[in-house]
Amino acid sequence: MLKKILIYIFWVILAVYMLFSLVIIPNIPDNNQCKGVLITVDNDENGNLSKENITELLDKEGLNPYGYIIDSIRCTVIENCINEISLVRDCQVYKTADRYVAIEIDCKIPILKVNDINGNEYYIDSDGKIITGVHKALHLPVATGHISEEMQTAELKEMACAIYGNRFWLAQTEQIHFEKNGNIILVPRVGGHIIEFGKAENIAGKLNKLYTFYTKGLNTIGWDKYEKLNIEFNDKVICTKKN
C-alpha cells in the first residue's frame, strides 16, 4: 500500500513539474540577459567597415554580448578589440537601460593613397595615421616614390591635407611623386604636363600661384601647350613647352 502511495505521489510531482516547465517558466521574464547589439558606424562613406564586419569580429573573438548576463559584459574589452581595427578612429561601447549593448564607431577618413618605394600600399588620414584594410577603391591622389616613415607625419601629411582640403586640387591631382632629393612632382589629371613643385615648403602659396596661372593663363593659351610647369620659386611659374 505504501509503495502505491509513493508511486502516486511521484507521478503527481512529475506532472506538476512538467506543467511548471511548459507553462510557467517560459513566461518568467529574464531581466539579466543582453537583448542585442546596436552598432553605428560614422564617416565610412565608402562602406569599408560594415556592421556585419563588426559582428563577425566579435563572434570570432568570443566577445558578442548577445544573450550574456548584462552585468558580466565588459564594455572596455569590446572597445579595445574594435579600436585595433586600422580604419577605426575611436570606439565607444556602453549598455542601454533596456539591456542592449550599443557600439558607436567613428572611422578615420582616408585622404591619400600611398605606394612607397618598398612596395607597401596603404592610406593615411588627416592626422598622418596609416590606414589598412581599405578594400573598396577610393578616388584619391596617390603618393609614390621615396617615402619614409618620418614623412608620414611631415611632408606627406602637409601635402595631403592641402590637396584634400581644396576641391579643385583634389579633383585635379592624380599623383604626388617624391624624388630622392625631397623634391615633389605633381601629376595632374588634366593638362598633359607635370608640375615641378620643389620641396614641401610654402605649399598653400605655391598651389595658389599655380591656380592663378591655370585660370588666367592656361584657360587662354590652352592646357596642353606645356610639358612642365615649375612653381618652385617665389612669384614665378617657369613653363617648358612641348616639342
For the chain, what are the domain ranges?
36-107, 112-241
Question: Are domains 36-107 and 112-241 of this chain identical in fold?
Answer: no
Give residue 25's pLDDT.
44
Give residue 181's pLDDT.
87
Cβ contact 39:103 at 8 Å: yes
Q: What is the mean pLDDT of each run of 10 residues along the chain (243 residues)?
A: 57 56 49 91 87 94 93 95 94 95 94 87 86 84 84 77 92 93 92 90 92 84 85 86 81
Give residue 205's pLDDT.
92
CATH match of 36-107 with 3.10.20.310: yes
CA distance 195 to 180: 16
Helix axes 155-164, 203-213, angle to 10 degrees: 40
Give residue 85's pLDDT.
94
What's the CATH fold of domain 112-241? Rossmann fold (3.40.50)
Q: How far is CA 28 from CA 31, 32, 68, 96, in A?
A: 9, 12, 17, 21
CA distance 230 to 243: 17
Give residue 26's pLDDT.
47
